[in-house]
Amino acid sequence: MPPAAPHIPAGAAVLVVGAGPFQLGLIEAVQARGLRVVVVDRNADAPGMRAADVAEPCDIIDVPAVVAVARRHRVVAVASSASDAAMPAVAGVAEALDLPGQRPAVIQTCRNKLLTYQAVAAAGLPVPATVAVASPAEAMAAVDDVGSYPVVIKPRSAAGGRGVSIVRSFSELGPAFARAEAAGRGSGVLVQGFVGGESVGVEAVFWQGELLDAFVLVDTYREGFVSPVGHALPCPWPAERQAAVAAAAAGFAKACGLTHGQANFDLRDA
């Protein structure tokens, strides 16, 4: 049985990093538990700034500034939702104030796709071959290293499918490399083997290294898009198949060091 979360006294302050539309549900859920929400966002007009009990204009990528806000308000917990950009600040606050949550090194592993690949491969889990490249010429050479066409070219660090291309021929390599390089903003470019099969997403919640809950989404794609344009929920798969996918996600989380909070996984049932 997973360990119980610690009791938080009514009126205690919780920091929510980010005040956009995707954080509104989190803000409301925290307030519904009788807790006070302190929110940070560089956009003073973001909807969560009005919804929170305390709003602090602050760039969420400025980790020291966010930590200073957390200290000033003596927050007892920190979180965000649906924001990769918020994760370094969430981890920075958790580490600085010794709160439950991921630490910066784990967040770095999860946000840098090369580090993610290395962690998962080291754990012996199935993952497509991945090679870091610095030029279109290196990308061309890497095609043989990961298999053959089609291949996937992506930035080391980006979200939402930005800069990701499925490359089916040599003529597509150069433009795909340029897109990945631009989207990655200096993080680097990867060439990855293409994996067919049915695409599935997992939304999971972890506490002290244990999987608390997870639900599986079958993804819907449209020609020309590398990210899903829709999801099927409830998942139409049999319960046993869903449980196997959730267990696989838990294995990937363990390999990357994930122990606390919510996480999204994109898998292929090849």
Per-residue pLDDT of 68-99, as tens digits, reads 999 999 999 999 999 999 999 999 999 999 99
Read off the pLDDT of residues 6-54 as tens digits, 9 standing for 90 and up.
678 889 999 999 999 999 999 999 999 999 999 999 999 999 999 999 9
Residues of the chain with CATH 3.30.1490.20: 129-193
| Pairing assessment for the beta strands 36-41 and 189-193 based on DSSP bridges | unpaired
Cα separation, 63 vs 266, whole angstroms: 27
More confident site: 79 or 220: 79
CATH class of the domain whose range is 129-193: alpha beta
238 has a pLDDT exceeding 90: yes
Confidence of residue 106 (pLDDT cuts 50, 70, 90): very high
57 contact partners, CB below 8 Å, separation of at least 6: 40, 41, 42, 43, 44, 49
- With pLDDT > 90 as the criterion, what percentage of the chain qualifies? 83
Q: Which pLDDT belongs to residue 3?
A: 57
Confidence of residue 225 (pLDDT cuts 50, 70, 90): low
Read off the pLDDT of residues 154-177 as tens digits, 9 standing for 90 and up.
999 988 889 999 999 999 999 999
Q: Which pLDDT belongs to residue 5?
A: 60
| Pairing assessment for the beta strands 165-167 and 210-220 based on DSSP bridges | unpaired
Residues of the chain with CATH 3.40.50.20: 13-101
Q: Which pLDDT belongs to residue 97?
A: 98
Is the alpha carbon torsion for 62, 64, 69, 75 positive or negative?
positive
User: What is the architecture, at CATH level 2, of domain 13-101?
Assistant: 3-Layer(aba) Sandwich (3.40)
Average pLDDT taken over every residue of the chain: 93
229 has a pLDDT exceeding 80: no
- With pLDDT > 70 as the criterion, what percentage of the chain qualifies? 97
Q: Which pLDDT belongs to residue 181?
A: 96
Read off the pLDDT of residues 38-51 as tens digits, 9 standing for 90 and up.
999 999 999 999 99
Confidence of residue 4 (pLDDT cuts 50, 70, 90): low
226 has a pLDDT exceeding 90: no
More confident site: 185 or 104: 104
